[in-house]
Amino acid sequence: MEHGRLNVVLCWHMHQPWYREGLAGEYILPWVYLHAIKDYSDMAAHLEQHQAMKAVVNFAPVLLEQLEDYAHQIRDYLAHGTPMQDHLLNQLAGIEPVPATDEGRRQLMVECQRCNGPRMIDPYPAFRQLLAASGAPEIARHKSGPLLLEPVYLSEQYFVDLLVWYHLVWLGQSLRQLPEVVHLFEKEREYSLQDRRVLLQVMQTGMEGLVPRYRALAESGQVELSMSPYMHPMVPLLQDFGQMRCSQPDDPLPAAGVYPGGSERARWHLQQGMEVFERFFGFRPQGVWLSEGAVSESALTLLREAGIRWTASGEGVWRNSCRLSGLDGEGVSSKRDLFLPYQLEPEGVSLFFRDDGLSDLIGFKYSDWAAGDAVGDFVHHLESIARFMGSDASGRVVSIILDGENAWEYYPDNGSHFLSALYERLSQSALLAPVHFSTMAKQLPGRHLPAICAGSWVYGSFSTWIGSPDKNRGWDLLVEAKRCLDQVLVEGTLEPARYEQVLRQLGVCEGSDWFWWFGDYNPADSVRDFEGLFRRQLGRLYSLLGQAAPATLSQPVSSGGGRAENAGTMRSNT
């Protein structure tokens, strides 16, 4: 905290759900490794290049484990030819042949369009030409999903080149500077098996270096590392479905009414997450971003008991909590008081609240602006707050919290110009002081908040995850599986060797992302991917328990039907 300067916390949340079928099966979706080679790598590079910039980086442990596994799998392939558990990587490596059927080839071309066309296809004529070779015009400008392509007459080399280009455009700007990558971009076509090995080596080295790089940034004091609970569950909802009532008084609860043993499960996710985090980074974090910024009184109690110093949530939770506490007339709900830490009890967990407007400018608006204009606008907003606060500025903290991966696909050059200029301006401003949440928790006294209205970073409620027919149906399937697990444990029929596997598989099924995607406002393709994987994960749980899955598990939970734009966790989830 510096006298006269407004404290600013820039917190990047790094998160992907468990994309493997079961605990050790094939990866069904490729987003962990694609974001690793693009966003997680670039985000570290920007911080390394701007050492005066301080930031908080939050990792979901479920992401850390998958990053480690991908790096090991690609390394084993390069060293021994061992097949990987991701079909797209196996096809890139040549382990799996290009599909022989028209349907298989069509599906591969659809997969190789899963990126933002204007930013990741249009700038590369060679990639555009490959897609246009199918006979589909304006391939990069589709707005409602991948175009249906006709791959009948295309050669095997065509699909090899398509796979290489797809992975090249997913490489972040920091990896593109490598000479071997520059050569691959310049070659444009007729990629050999050796070219593909070179690309895989770049990807593997980049992924394996991620944890050491972020750990070094933390050890230097530049970055504070924090975490989310293990498999990214909605902790307040595990503890009590009824916690949705404060912000969603009229929405129906799941038919089950309660998640059995939910408080114990919430504690398990926090403890497991701490162990995973410490294994990767060598220390326990001071802060926890509860999954989806979902907070409640019982969730904060859980954090306090675990020795956590701080957490954060969305502006909507702050507004609802001020109303619940009867503080409207006392000025607490004026915007200036958003920029304070709060505590439910003396010496309790410090609770910070996200400035939704400023955070969403980065997440949703600035991608279409020139980088200099965007950064100038953003810093102007912050410096205006600092001037308005006057001598109180050093006693306030503005919390900017958003995904560290999903927005950059929509920015030119993966957001590199924007982030570089942003870090430079923030670290040099005479009115702003980039800081860490843990520093603020130590230095700023927490204002007493008499009551908290349980909710999340989205609208201050849980409506994105519960309270509608599709979402409640998903919870009911999960509750049914949990009751089956509890009964098996009571009967003592579970093999002891499977106990830990069962708990982990249940943890996978408890992740928040499944419920996010249920709903007709989400794009059908994404809903199909996620709800199908959710039901398969539950099926794996029944299998581990030695029980037959109920017939209800064969029926889709949701079908979707909305547009892809802006769907997903704090941004389009790809």
Strands 55-59 and 447-448: what pairing? unpaired
Do 317 and 431 share a domain, yes or no?
yes
Do 159 and 124 share a domain, yes or no?
yes
Do 52 and 109 share a domain, yes or no?
no
How high does pLDDT run on average in the chain?
A: 93
Question: Is the residue at 433 inside a domain?
Answer: yes
Do 79 and 170 share a domain, yes or no?
yes
Strands 397-403 and 223-227: what pairing? unpaired
Say how far apart CA 174 and CA 177 lie, in whole Å.
Answer: 6
Please tell me the total count of domains within the chain.
Answer: 2
Return the sign of the alpha-carbon dihedral for residues 411, 415, 417, 418. Answer: positive
Among candidate residues 424, 448, 472, the one where a domain is terminated: 448
Among candidate residues 416, 448, 480, the one where a domain is terminated: 448
Say how far apart CA 351 and CA 318 lie, in whole Å.
Answer: 10
Give long-range contacts, CB 8 A cutoff, 24+ apart: 188-197: 188/126, 189/126, 189/161, 190/157, 190/161, 191/160, 191/161, 191/164, 193/94, 195/164, 196/92, 196/93, 196/94, 196/160, 196/163, 196/164, 197/78, 197/93
Question: Is the residue at 75 inside a domain?
Answer: yes
Contact 139, 147 (CB under 8 A): yes
Query: What's the CATH number where 227 sits?
Result: 3.20.110.20
Pick left, alpha or beta for residue 454 (phi over 0 → left; psi -120 to 50 → alpha; otherwise beta): beta
Max CA separation in the chain (angstroms) = 72
Contact 398, 1 (CB under 8 A): no
Strands 6-14 and 55-59: what pairing? parallel
H-state helical runs in 60-192: 61-80, 87-93, 102-111, 117-120, 125-132, 156-170, 173-176, 179-187
Q: What is the DSSP string of 248-273?
A: -TTSPPPTT-S-TTHHHHHHHHHHHH
Q: Indicate the SS3 state at residue 567.
A: coil
Do 263 and 401 share a domain, yes or no?
yes
Amino acid in position 533: L
Question: Is the residue at 379 inside a domain?
Answer: yes
Q: Indicate the SS3 state at residue 455.
A: strand
Distance in angstroms between the alpha carbons of the first and the last residue of the chain: 37
Question: Is the residue at 247 inside a domain?
Answer: no
Among candidate residues 429, 448, 467, the one where a domain is terminated: 448
Tell me which residue has tokens 């520059």: 182
Query: Distances in Å between the alpha carbon of 118 and those of 115, 128, 488?
Result: 9, 11, 52
pLDDT at residue 563, rounded to an integer? 56
Phi, psi of 354 (to 5 degrees): -65, 135
The neighbour count for residue 427, using CB atoms within 10 Å, is 15
Question: Is the residue at 457 inside a domain?
Answer: no
Say how far apart CA 371 and CA 368 lie, in whole Å.
Answer: 9
Query: Alpha carbon 361 to chain centroid distance?
Result: 18
Name every residue whose Cβ is closer than 8 Å to that of residue 73 and which is 6 or more positions away in sequence.
82, 84, 85, 86, 89
Q: Which two tokens stand for residue 63?
A: 């992401």
Do 49 and 109 share a domain, yes or no?
no
Do 72 and 204 share a domain, yes or no?
yes
Do 301 and 350 share a domain, yes or no?
yes
Question: Is the residue at 500 inside a domain?
Answer: no
Question: Is the residue at 102 inside a domain?
Answer: yes
Do 17 and 74 share a domain, yes or no?
no
Q: Indicate the SS3 state at residue 393.
A: helix
Say how far apart CA 443 and CA 512 lie, in whole Å.
Answer: 33
Burial of 255 (0-12, 13-18, 19+ CB in 10 A): exposed
Do 102 and 45 share a domain, yes or no?
no
pLDDT at residue 335, rounded to an integer? 83
Do 180 and 84 share a domain, yes or no?
yes
Contact 518, 473 (CB under 8 A): yes
Question: Is the residue at 478 inside a domain?
Answer: no
Query: Alpha carbon 156 to chain centroid distance?
Result: 35
What is the domain extent for residue 135?
67-208
Do 296 and 424 share a domain, yes or no?
yes
Query: Alpha carbon 226 to chain centroid distance?
Result: 14
Query: Alpha carbon 552 to chain centroid distance?
Result: 29
H-state helical runs in 282-335: 297-305, 315-324
Residues of the chain with pLDDT under 70: 1-3, 134-153, 328-333, 562-574
